[in-house]
Chain A
Amino acid sequence: MPDRNNLLRVEHLRKVYEATTGDVEAIGDISFTMDAGELVCIVGPSGCGKTTLLKCLAGLLRPTGGVVEMDGSPVTGPSPAMAVVFQEYGRSLYPWLTVRGNVELPLRHKKLSRAERDKLVGDALEAVGLAHAARSHPWQLSGGMQQRVAIARAVAYQPEVLIMDEPFAAVDAQTRADLEDLVRELHRSRRISILFVTHDIDESVYLGQRVLVLSKSPTWVQEDLAIDLPPERDQITTRALPRFTELRTHVYDQIQRAKRGQAVAPQSAR
């Protein structure tokens, strides 16, 4: 029986891209664990291999070394226990399918009755507030709504962990705040474990129970920070808390330190 608390375990993960011009070490050595029901944010300087890390976790990329374990068993390919929400909703949703068709597609190979499938789809669309748009096509919706469809698709898939890759990087600030609250709401009401990758420091502090700060590439976990903000959060009061400011300043400093490491390297080379 695997340890119930350790949902996801990453140990000495390493990824080297082999190229004819020389190998590129994207991920140096990443280790962390994530408990069931946690909301963990991963933040790091740009180009630090966040997306690479995420693809390795989701089984879309084969790591060069180390292990990713889900519920105690190693991840070697895309797992039914994980669902990914990609940053580019425009390329992740299929424009020839309706909203309902998109949410339904991953469920087709699950052995469900028509009624069960309909219920999952309806329920997921309800959860993201798009029950009225089931028959629309994604391109008829705004960017924020499209990303909601992608979230609904992941939720309907009933994963144990939801992996989100900078999901709100391409939407405007107001929509983004709404979507952040949606993620927290899903996490709270549905007890979904969420791994949220972002480059936005405020977002990581506002959303997460824990924030993993990554170093620059080749990447390791520079800090594993517990966010001791109250569990009930909202955009105005939470962001105005002194503790929020402290935490975001702390994360900001960490990222700057990570970047400075990057800034020093070329000088020493000169």
Chain B
Amino acid sequence: MTAYTGRLAGPPRARGVGSRIAVSFGYALGLPMLLLVVWGLVATRGTSRFFPGPLTISEAFVDTWVGPAFVADVLPSLYRLGLGITASIVLGIAAGTVIGLVQWLRELLEPLLEFFRAIPPPVLIPVVMLLLGITDTMKVVVIVSGAVWPILLNTIEGVRATDSVMTETADSFRVTWWERLWFLVLPAASPRIMAGVRQALSVALILMVISEMFASSSGLGYRIAYFQRNYLIAEMWSGILLLGLVGVFLAVVFGLVERRVLRWYHGIREVNRA
């Protein structure tokens, strides 16, 4: 009797944990796997040399990027990207906080900001190139010129929308200016700031590639453009694959940071939903 019930109780518990992991893995990787298989089949059937099979590309990936090219091209790109993103975040939050807090400044600048934001940053590349030469600084400036806007505008909105009762609370307890900035204004704006940073990351990646394609002698964008001009098709695709992986890496890092910074925000939403 006990053995019988024991056996009955066993399997569901095992399926509980094991199958849940299997299922979530299945969902995460199922479609990419399927696409790879379809791609492989199409590539072996097809004759177009512009669409090599996944095996050819993965070989090219290892040959191209594992080795000296990692130091010569990948690291410089990541360096520019990292610097550009960091500068955008610092500049966007600092300027956004000041503009958000000072009403006359906001009214003065808002139309201008909307105008600058509307300019597609790639058109600035020749101008920046003329001013700064073909340097890393030029690429970082191009990245910042595009990536700073979502952060800046979101910070302005977030800072401006600080709750009036929260502000009155700080007033009534005579909380100092710096404490107010650090414990009230920035945390209150953080959900919007993080939304801006998320947008900025993808803009920064795009601008890194474009700026390197335009004017560079190193970097992912430069390398991919080089492969394209020289009909190194599998190598070109491997570069595009690497760009995708960089994007995924950025998203994962962002997700980890966001979960830490906005723990309270997600917590409240969960409580409200329950």
Question: Nearest Cβ distance between residue A66 and chain B, in whole angstroms?
Answer: 20
Cβ contacts A78-99/B at 8 Å (1 or 0 each):
1010111010100110111100
Chain A 39-56 near chain B by CB (<8 Å), digits 1 or 0: 000000000000000010
Flag the segment in B40-48, B149-157, B163-171 that touches A.
B163-171
Which of A84, A96, A108, A157 lies in contact with B264, CB distance below 8 A? A96
Tell me how far the C-beta of B172 lies from the nearest C-beta in chain A, rounded to whole angstroms.
4
Q: Interface code B179-214, partner A: CB below 8 Å = 1, 0 otherwise?
A: 100011001101000000000000000000000000
Asked whether any CB of chain B lies closer than 8 Å to the CB of A106, the reply is yes
| Interface presence of B273 (CB below 8 A) | no
Verify if A244 is at the interface (C-beta below 8 Å from B).
Answer: no
B253-274 Cβ-contact flags toward A at 8 Å (1 or 0): 0000000000011011001000
**Given A94-B183, A96-B190, CB of A137 within 8 Å of CB of B168:** no
A78 adjacent to B172 (CB under 8 Å) = yes
With CB as the reference atom, state the residue of chain A lying closest to B174. Answer: A78
Is A140 located at the chain interface by the 8 A CB criterion?
Answer: yes
In the complex, chain B residues whose CB is within 8 Å of the CB of A137: 264, 267
User: Roughly how many angstroms separate A139 CA and B262 CA in the complex, as a whole number?
Assistant: 14
Most buried by B among A59, A91, A101: A91
Is B24 part of the contact surface with A, judged by Cβ < 8 Å?
no
Number of interface residues of B (CB under 8 A): 22
Which residues from A are CB-within-8-Å of B188?
94, 96
Nearest residue (CB) in B for A163 is B172
User: A157 vs B169: C-alpha distance in the bound complex, in angstroms?
Assistant: 13
Which of B174, B187, B267 interacts with A80 by CB under 8 Å? B174
Residues of B with C-beta under 8 A to A83: 172-173
In the complex, chain B residues 221-274 whose Cβ is within 8 Å of any chain A Cβ: 264-265, 267-268, 271
A91 pairs with B163, CB closer than 8 A: yes
Q: What residues of chain A lie closer than 8 Å to B265, measured between beta carbons?
A: 95-96
Partner of B168, one of A60, A82, A106, A109: A60
Q: Which of B171, B172, B174 contacts A109 (CB 8 A)?
A: B174
Alpha-carbon distance between A139 and B273 when the two chains are bound, in angstroms: 13
- Interchain CB contact (< 8 A) of B173 among A78, A97, A101: A78
Write the chain B residue with the least CB distance to A55: B168
Bound-complex Cα distance A97 to B188 (A): 11
The yes or no answer to A112 lying at the interface (CB within 8 A) is: no
**A58 touches B (CB below 8 Å):** yes
* Inter-chain contact A84/B172, CB cutoff 8 Å: yes
Alpha-carbon distance A86/B165, docked complex (angstroms): 8
| With contact pairs A86-B165, A105-B179 given, residues A95 and B173 touching in the complex (Cβ less than 8 Å) | no
Minimum distance in angstroms from A127 CB to a CB of chain B: 18
CB distance from A51 to the nearest CB of B (A): 11
Q: With an 8 A cutoff between CB atoms, is B5 at the interface?
A: no
Q: Smallest CB–CB gap between B89 and chain A, Å?
A: 19
**Which residues on the B side are within 8 Å of A108 (C-beta)?**
175-176, 179
The residue of chain B having its C-beta at the shortest distance from the C-beta of A150 within the complex is B169
Shortest Cβ distance from residue A211 to the other chain B in the assembled complex, whole angstroms: 24
Q: Chain A residues near B184 (CB, 8 Å)?
A: 94
Restricting to A117-158, which residues have a CB under 8 Å from any CB of B? 137, 139-140, 153, 157
- Partner of B171 from the list A78, A91, A139 (CB cut-off 8 Å) is A78
Query: How many angstroms from the CA of A157 to the CA of B165 in the assembled complex?
Result: 18
- CB neighbors of A among B57-80 (8 A): none
How many angstroms from the CA of A139 to the CA of B265 in the assembled complex?
10
Chain A 190-225: CB-based contact to B (< 8 A → 1; otherwise 0): 000000000000000000000000000000000000
Q: Which 3 A-B pairs have the closest CB atoms?
A: A106-B173, A91-B165, A96-B187
Given contacts A60-B168, A92-B165, A95-B268, 15 further A-B contacts (CB under 8 A): A55-B168, A86-B165, A91-B165, A94-B166, A95-B267, A96-B187, A96-B188, A97-B187, A101-B183, A106-B174, A108-B176, A108-B179, A109-B176, A137-B264, A140-B271
Can you identify 17 A-B contacts, CB atoms within 8 angstroms? Answer: A83-B172, A84-B168, A84-B172, A94-B166, A94-B183, A96-B187, A96-B188, A97-B187, A101-B183, A106-B173, A106-B174, A106-B175, A108-B175, A139-B271, A140-B267, A140-B271, A153-B173
